[in-house]
């Protein structure tokens, strides 16, 4: 009897994966979802990527202080990383972000920190979190040549829980 319904179950699982953009088998604990939008032509000396620049899901990335190693890749594109964090009580978190070219850090869809140019130093952000779950997005624009995205610390070390698949 179970074999009779197995193709139907597999089809439903495939639809869920297609709609949510993630594998139901892959844990999101301590990870970021990565998205790529190609063909973004902006001034690499002034452009801070926006949430509208989030493109297609391409995979999961482990949390680290360097989320994208310096590499010659993704020319004229925006790479977005999204996760959810949980804090048990209200607190301020200080986090530095750096990238090549412009970067934007968003919490609950609000820009909390940005740096428009690769030549600028790492920018430090004081972010206020209320108790509960929060969506965090880190976006980096890459004009020509290298792309790079880093924090001064791992985000997962600053919060109580981190889960890219939380909803």
Q: pLDDT tens-digit profile of 44-70?
A: 889 999 999 999 999 999 999 999 999
**Mean pLDDT within 3-28:** 56
Asked whether residue 19 is assigned to any structural domain, the reply reads no
Does 20 score more than 70 pLDDT? no
- If one counts every other C-beta atom within 10 angstroms of the C-beta of residue 16, the result is 12
**Mean pLDDT within 110-119:** 93
User: Looking at per-residue confidence, does 4 or 80 come out higher?
Assistant: 80
Span 124-159, pLDDT tens digits: 999 999 999 999 999 999 998 889 999 999 999 999
Asked whether residue 11 is assigned to any structural domain, the reply reads no
Span 24-45, pLDDT tens digits: 457 899 999 999 999 999 998 8
**Which tokens is 127 given?**
């972010």
What is the distance, to the nearest Å, from the Cα of residue 63 to the centroid of all Cα atoms in its chain?
A: 10
Task: Provide the pLDDT confidence category of residue 118 given band limits of 50, 70 and 90.
Answer: confident
Taking the CA atoms of residue 153, residue 117, residue 70 and residue 103 in that order, the dihedral angle to the nearest 10 degrees is 50
Model pTM score = 0.84
Does 111 score more than 70 pLDDT? yes
Span 75-85, pLDDT tens digits: 999 999 999 99
| Segments forming the whole domain that contains residue 114 | 28-162
Q: Could you give the CA distance from residue 22 to residue 6 in angstroms, rounded to a whole number?
A: 21
Asked whether residue 5 is assigned to any structural domain, the reply reads no
Q: What is the pLDDT of residue 167?
A: 81
Asked whether residue 22 is assigned to any structural domain, the reply reads no
Q: What is the CATH number of the domain that holds 95?
A: 2.60.120.260
How many domains does the chain contain in total?
Answer: 1
Asked whether residue 94 is assigned to any structural domain, the reply reads yes
Q: Could you give the CA distance from residue 100 to residue 104 in angstroms, rounded to a whole number?
A: 11
Asked whether residue 102 is assigned to any structural domain, the reply reads yes
Asked whether residue 3 is assigned to any structural domain, the reply reads no
Q: Could you give the CA distance from residue 167 to residue 158 in angstroms, rounded to a whole number?
A: 20
Asked whether residue 135 is assigned to any structural domain, the reply reads yes
- Hunting for tokens 């032509």 — which residue is that? 41
Span 87-105, pLDDT tens digits: 999 999 999 999 989 999 9
């Amino acid at each position: 009897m179970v074999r009779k319904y197995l193709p139907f179950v597999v089809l439903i699982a495939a639809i869920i994966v297609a709609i949510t953009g993630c594998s139901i088998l892959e844990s999101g604990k301590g990870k970021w979802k990565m998205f790529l939008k190609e063909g973004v032509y902006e001034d690499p000396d002034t452009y801070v990527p926006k949430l509208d620049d989030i493109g297609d899901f391409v995979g999961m990335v482990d949390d680290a202080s360097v989320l994208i190693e310096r590499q010659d890749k993704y020319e004229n594109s925006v790479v977005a990383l999204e996760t959810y964090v949980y804090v048990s009580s209200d607190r301020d978190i200080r986090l530095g972000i750096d990238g090549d070219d412009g970067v934007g850090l968003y919490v609950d869809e609000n820009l909390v920190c940005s740096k428009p140019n690769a030549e600028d130093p790492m920018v430090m952000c004081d972010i206020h979190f209320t108790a509960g779950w929060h969506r965090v997005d880190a976006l980096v624009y890459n004009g020509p040549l290298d792309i790079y995205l880093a924090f001064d610390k791992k985000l997962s070390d600053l919060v109580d829980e981190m889960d890219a698949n939380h909803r």
